[in-house]
């Protein structure tokens, strides 16, 4: 197994153990009401939302910027102006 896989397994196990230890109900103050909610639910929801936001913020971009397109177009224009001798030298 790779180190990344081992880290994910250990981290997931630690979060699960932490959630199982903290199952008692605690009074949480929401904006307009007070409610007794299990710490398990609150920490679990916050962890889940954190993972989703972290994935969303860290995922690679799939779109190509117009700047990259301009560079590619400029490179293609330069290649067409090369002589056959220059192309052979580059290879």
Domains in the chain, number: 1
Query: Six-digit token pair at 32?
Result: 């307009």
pLDDT in tens, 6-42: 999 999 899 888 878 878 888 888 788 888 888 888 8
User: Please, where are the H alpha helices in the chain?
Assistant: 3-21, 39-58, 66-80, 84-90
Range of the domain at 54: 3-90
Model's pTM, two decimal places? 0.47
Whole-Å CA distances, 14 to 4, 30, 39, 53 = 15, 28, 16, 20
**With contact defined as beta carbons under 8 Å apart, do 59 and 74 qualify?**
no
pLDDT in tens, 57-91: 888 776 655 566 666 666 555 556 777 888 888 87
């Amino acid at each position: 197994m790779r180190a990344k896989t081992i880290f994910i397994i250990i981290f997931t196990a630690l979060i699960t153990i932490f959630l199982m230890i903290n199952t008692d109900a605690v009074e949480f103050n929401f904006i307009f009401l007070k409610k007794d909610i299990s710490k398990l639910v609150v920490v679990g929801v916050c962890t889940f939302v954190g993972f989703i936001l972290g994935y969303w913020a860290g995922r690679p971009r799939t779109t190509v910027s117009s700047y990259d397109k301009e560079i590619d177009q400029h490179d293609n224009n330069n290649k067409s102006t090369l002589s056959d001798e220059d192309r052979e030298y580059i290879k």
